[in-house]
Amino acid sequence: MRQVYLDYSATTPVKEEVVKEMIPYFTEKFGNPSTLYASGLEAKAGLDKARHQVAELINAEDREIFFTSCGTEADNWVIEGVADAYKDKGKHIITTKIEHHAILHTCEYLEKHGYEVTYLDVDSEGFVDPLQRILPAFFLYYILQFYNTLIIPPPLYAA
Ligand SMILES: Cc1ncc(COP(=O)(O)O)c(C=O)c1O
């Protein structure tokens, strides 16, 4: 039976030209990029090149691009990082009830450490209800612009 994979928002096959570009880093240039010897420097050059390409793609600075090992790490890093950086300004996070567990579990963790979290409801199509009360004192409004499982763009309404 022929199978059709429809979850390309979660993962996709890697393009042939990308595989070709990556193979040297899996086979010859596999050094640790944080080291100072030749093979490490070679790997670091590849990493820097990739960072530059990604930055150019989204019109950012190289120094603004960080690679993480997975989505969960990125979520943890940004939510906990912002929470800590702004803890003197406010301790209120607003998110939705339909976020990925990596978001929800991080928010639950922060709740245990003195943060208040508002979990907004969404309607049957995943849209955030604009009439929900949003407390003014929040520092992080984290709603996935494109919720990758449902493939919907929840609009952010101006308060
Ligand atoms: C917002 C978000 N965070 C985390 C993850 C999990 O990513 P990973 O398995 O790479 O940790 C996903 C995966 O769908 C996601 O959509």
Nearest Cα neighbor of 64 from 41, 72, 56 is 56
Best of 148, 149, 152 to mutate for ligand 1, by most ligand atoms within 8 A of CB? Answer: 148
* Ligand 1 atom at minimum distance from 144 CA: 1
- Residue 103: partners with Cβ closer than 8 Å, 6 or more residues away: 75, 79, 95, 142, 144
The single-letter code of the amino acid at 100 is H
- 79 alpha carbon – ligand 1 mean position (Å): 14
Q: Is 72 in the pocket of ligand 1 (CB under 6 A)?
A: yes
- 3-state SS, 30-89, equals CCCCCCCCHHHHHHHHHHHHHHHHHHHHCCCCHHHCCCCCCHHHHHHHHHHHHHHHCCCC
**Residue nearest atom 8 in ligand 1 by C-alpha distance:** 71
Instruction: Identify the H or E element spanning 141.
Output: strand 140-141
Probe target for ligand 1 pocket from 72, 103, 149, with the most ligand atoms within 8 Å of CB: 72
Per-residue pLDDT of the chain (159 residues; tens, 9 = 90+): 999 999 887 889 999 999 999 999 999 999 999 999 999 999 999 999 999 999 999 999 999 999 999 999 999 999 999 889 988 888 888 888 888 899 999 999 999 999 988 888 888 877 776 666 555 444 455 554 444 444 444 554 444
End-to-end Cα separation, the chain, in angstroms: 51
Where do the domains of the chain lie? 16-64, 71-141
